Structure 1
Amino acid sequence: MSEREVFRTRVKVRHYELDTLGHLNHAVYHSYGEIARLELMELAGALKGGMREAKLAAVLLESHISFRKELRAGDVVDITCDAKFGSGKTFRMDSNIHKVDGTLCAEITCTLGLMDLDRRKLVEDPRGRLAAAGVDVALLSTSE
């Protein structure tokens, strides 16, 4: 199997996203991670009808961030996203935020699950359920 590059999207830091110290507000880092997660899920087909028909939705259960370098207005960043599936009801989607010069600014680790929208409970085997709903899980994860 050939290795593929991790998904990435580009964002420019806007002035209104800054805190009183003049750098990117801590909550916006999480928003940037969410942008990458949603764009990757959309690319893989998770936001199309198959998930809706299966009455499933991805839910964020936990988010952890490590701040490495500050970001300021006008900085352009690449945000990566890569899913990691294991056993059980949860999976991870990890993101890194890098300046375009390669400087690592933040690492975000999120734990997610797939919720059965009728039962309001997490389902087993989220990878398998995503695939059954027509999601291209190979696009979600570089380890697929």
Structure 2
Amino acid sequence: MADLEITYRGTVYPWHCDHMGHMNVMWYVGKFDEATWQLFDRIGLTPAYLREQGRGMVAVDQRISYRRELRAGDVVVVRTGLLEVGAKKIRFCHHMENASTGEQAAVTVITGVHIDTTARRGVALPEEQLAAAQKMITDFDPGM
């Protein structure tokens, strides 16, 4: 897991927890989403690039496996790796862990497509972003 980059660090707050006392699924997705935008920024798919070029990234598939509960006060870390990069799409994983115990809390695999926001169609990633993404490809197995 050494080649996965930290893309999120945060805390589970009491309002993130449901009636059973653990973090509700909506917050796992939210923290994974924040990690996704950090990943995109690192490969050059910055908010400025997306706005100025009329581009966007859309999730076309997301699978989540919940492994351990997180509770209020837990500090979490998300580590991210790219699994596959194509002309228009990227497939990546996020590994969420309890920062204190090192236990895996959840893992998700997401496929995103680079789109033209006007035409609403997939378009090729620019060479610079494609090259940056390819440098981040990992052989990490998310186990899904």
Same fold (TM over 0.5): yes
Residue 86 of structure 1 and its aligned partner are, at CA, apart by: 4.0
Residue 44 of structure 1 and its aligned partner are, at CA, apart by: 3.1
Q: Give the equivalent residue in structure 2 for 1:27.
A: 26
Q: Deviations over 1:96-143 (max 9, x none)?
A: 1111121011011111100112211112x4xxx243469832565446
Matches within 5 A, 1:132-143: 132=128, 136-137=132-133, 140-142=136-138
Residue 42 of structure 1 and its aligned partner are, at CA, apart by: 2.0
Tell whether the 8 Å contact from 1:130 to 1:137 is kept in structure 2 after alignment. Answer: no
Code of the residue aligned with 2:132 in structure 1: it is D
Q: Distance in 1 between matches of 2:98 and 2:84?
A: 27
Q: Deviations over 1:1-31 (max 9, x none)?
A: xxx7311121111111111101000111111
1:94 and 2:93 are equivalent in the alignment: yes
Tell whether the 8 Å contact from 2:80 to 2:94 is kept in structure 1 after alignment. Answer: yes
Q: TM-score, normalised by structure 1?
A: 0.80
- Unmatched tracts of structure 1, length 5 or more: none
Q: TM-score, normalised by structure 2?
A: 0.80
SS at match of 1:136: helix
Q: Distance in 2 between matches of 1:130 and 1:80?
A: 25
- Unmatched tracts of structure 2, length 5 or more: 140-144
Tell whether the 8 Å contact from 1:50 to 1:133 is kept in structure 2 after alignment. Answer: no
Q: Distance in 1 between matches of 2:128 and 2:50?
A: 9
Q: 1:35 to 1:56 in 2, by over 3 A?
A: same
Q: Give the equivalent residue in structure 2 for 1:7.
A: 5
State the Cα RMSD in Å: 2.5
Matched residues, percent identical? 24
